[in-house]
Structure 1
Amino acid sequence: MSDFNRDYARSIPTDRADMSVDAGLRSFMLGVYNKVALGLVVSAILAFITGQVGPVQQLLYRTAIDSAGQTVLAGYTLLGYAVAFGPLVVILFGAFGMKNATPRSSGIYYWTIVALLGASLGAITLVYTGASIFQTFLITATAFGGLSLVGYTTKKDLGPMGSFLIIGAFGLMIAMLVNIFLGSGMLAFIINVVGVLVFAGLIAYDTQRLKMTYYELKGDGAAMGVATNYGALSLYLDFINLFMFLLRLFGDRR
């Protein structure tokens, strides 16, 4: 899901400028990170509302009471399925229908995906313990910071690795769809391990790609606004995917 608009910037040599002391680049990247952080906060709030606020929960999920007296996920309502698949539908629409995006339209696009994905994440609060979700989020945030720093500071061109990882992300999606019908625990474990590796690499790659985008578009305010929204979307989706794969691997179920 996080491969959207990864070809936004064409290849530019990574040693084109001393990026570490470029105030404009730092400002651009800070804008992207702030938007990602705010998107994660909005998603967390919406996930809590849809997963834990009774009337809203009942609109999206079918629940049951387990032996410990806790409310757990038993299935989705029709509206719940619509919300769960909504982000994918919007992403596909944007990929094929937004050829001349503006800062405003790309911003609406970003926040629409954040809102839908955040609402759909309410399901995890019914599957995993709150402590497990919080711990996994902290681990993901720490890993995201380190990997993004690598992508920002490295002089090595990550483009070839990025192309391989994007193919891997599509392969993961196909494998996950196949495993819905197979129900293989071993295949699910392999998918989760590979997913962690793929999206860890994509965080570094997308960070470097954003630097290249900045130097290509520097001076074009409208294009920079669009790039900020698309860049935030890529990193936001990388974070969410890494979080979900880690949670499936290490999360404590209710």
Structure 2
Amino acid sequence: MSQYPSASGQMAKTEVVNAFMRGVYGWMSGGLALTALVSYIVINSQALMQMFFVVDPATGTASMSTLVFILLFAELGIVFYLSARISTMNPATATGLFMLYSGLNGLTLTPILLAYTAESVASTFFISAGMFGAMSAYGLLTKKDLTSWGSLLFMGLIGIIIAMVVNMFMQSSAMAFAISVIGVIIFLGLTAYDTQKLKTMGENVPVGDTAAIRRGTILGALTLYLDFINLFLMLLRLMGDRR
């Protein structure tokens, strides 16, 4: 008879984790949808393009205005603020900041998306979604502890950032290719690592504390959103057909 409460408790815990992860994926999907919508609206609005970007009439390429650089710094500020303060933040505020970040990202990604054909952007997105889904499922279902991946992936991420800054001056196509390949590997690894970490968070979330659950799902959505967007951009640099 002692087995029944244990089985019932395990089932309840599984349901809590599943609900938590559904919330994470749901908000992440909402953020990606908003990013795509904002980019689509800006690209198809001549007035908005002229407001935020300097467009070369000969090539159709767009460069960022001073305002967009300011918005880029605002995005970084939102990410750091959310990550540092979310444990004490009002859940509605956390949700609003995440969606604001997603919308701003749609704006600042516009010149990158304009550099590639619409077909290659769409195909890369679906390939990214498939790879992301596979690695996230691995992180969710594997019994292997991925904690040891964390420090290695973080060092790799720092290395990529440094290499990208250096290549801004060197303009080496070979280095750019290597950065993109290594970047894909790192962000796939981060997807699995972060998913497992979020699963553990879901296992320890206080049952019945809706505010804590919402804050956790928003932090998780932001984490996986960043993994997906960076994976998409790395793949786009590798596979995208430039206009």
Higher Cα Rg: structure 1 or 2?
2
Q: Give the equivalent residue in structure 1 for 2:43.
A: 51
Contact 1:32–1:231 (CA under 8 A) maintained in structure 2: yes
Contact 1:192–1:249 (CA under 8 A) maintained in structure 2: yes
Q: Give the equivalent residue in structure 2 for 1:30.
A: 22
Which among 208, 212, 216 is matched to residue 227 of structure 1? 216
Closer/same/farther in 2, CA of residues 200 and 19 from structure 1, 3 Å limit: farther
Q: How do 1:65-214 residues align onto structure 2 when only pairs under 5 Å count?
A: 65-66=57-58, 72-96=60-84, 100-214=88-202
Q: Give the equivalent residue in structure 2 for 1:60.
A: 52
Contact 2:95–2:218 (CA under 8 A) maintained in structure 1: yes
Contact 1:217–1:224 (CA under 8 A) maintained in structure 2: yes
Q: Tell me the TM-score normalised to structure 1 length.
A: 0.85
Mapped partners of 1:85, 1:248: distance in 2: 23
Mapped partners of 1:201, 1:49: distance in 2: 33
Question: How many residue pairs align between the two structures?
Answer: 234
Does structure 1 residue 245 correspond to structure 2 residue 237?
no
Contact 2:62–2:114 (CA under 8 A) maintained in structure 1: no
SS of the aligned residue for 1:159 comes to coil
Mapped partners of 1:56, 1:247: distance in 2: 24
Q: Tell me the TM-score normalised to structure 2 length.
A: 0.89
Q: Give the equivalent residue in structure 2 for 1:216.
A: 204
Instruction: Spell out, residue by residue over 1:52-89, the C-alpha distance to the aligned partner (whole angstroms, 9 max, x if none).
Output: 311101112111234xxxx5224221112223443223
Structure 1 runs of 4+ aligned residues shifted over 6 Å read 17-21
What residue identity is the alignment partner of 2:195? T
Contact 2:194–2:223 (CA under 8 A) maintained in structure 1: yes
Q: Give the equivalent residue in structure 2 for 1:9.
A: none
Per-residue deviation at 1:51? 2.5
Per-residue deviation at 1:166? 2.0
Per-residue deviation at 1:216? 1.6
Q: Give the equivalent residue in structure 2 for 1:42.
A: 34
Mapped partners of 1:60, 1:114: distance in 2: 17
Mapped partners of 1:229, 1:98: distance in 2: 9
Consecutive unaligned residues of structure 2, counting only runs of 5 or more, are: 1-8
SS of the aligned residue for 2:63 comes to strand
Contact 2:16–2:203 (CA under 8 A) maintained in structure 1: no
Contact 1:52–1:125 (CA under 8 A) maintained in structure 2: no
Per-residue deviation at 1:18? 6.3
Per-residue deviation at 1:94? 3.5
Per-residue deviation at 1:164? 1.5
Percent sequence identity over aligned pairs: 38
Mapped partners of 1:21, 1:249: distance in 2: 41
Per-residue deviation at 1:149? 0.6
SS of the aligned residue for 2:61 comes to strand
Higher mean C-alpha displacement, 156-165 vs 169-178:
169-178
Higher mean C-alpha displacement, 18-27 vs 104-113:
18-27
